[in-house]
Amino acid sequence: LEQAGVHVAYGLVGLKTHSKLSMVVRNDGDQLRRYCHIGTGNYHPKTARLYEDFGLLTCNPDVGEDVSNLFNVLSGYSRNTEYRRFLVAPHSVRSGLIERIDREIVHHREGRPAGIRFKCNALVDEETIDALYRASAAGVPVDIWVRGICSLRPGIPGISETIRVRSILGRFLEH
């Protein structure tokens, strides 16, 4: 990528960077517009056909601002930890997830559509698991896809009976 003139940020020393983001800034007449791709997979042509991944391509201004801010943090130009839409570890993932889980509990209690679909590499955080148990106890349906270890116990009456956990292994394992 660098040989093609792309600025590549490798992250900060002491902090594992695990994100798949790209942004193209385009001059659209009288304004600059940011086109962002956020994905779960690597940008690697040899593995692109082997894995199933999710990608979002957007020019939403809030997402563009978040991607710009995150790039500035990862490249050392900023220390900003506030984002409009993103949950970024180690600052806001846990609190943001719990806030969203609690919001689904409120929706369910108010008779509005509610549900949680959660996909992760591992689920071991006790506070997040407790929030998912609270959601299940309130009657919120919860579907979790976890690649690795999962400390949550689904199907316990009164505690986690609305939680379903799935793990995909073998040749269909996502990277």
**Placement of tokens 């896809």 in the chain:** 145
Catalytic residues: 18
Write the CA distances from 109 to 76, 130, 134, 138, integer angstroms: 44, 18, 12, 8
Q: Give the whole-angstrom CA distance, residue 135 versus residue 126.
A: 14
- Please, how many CA atoms are within 13 Å of residue 155, restricted to the half-sphere of its CB? 3
Tokens for 163? Answer: 């939680």
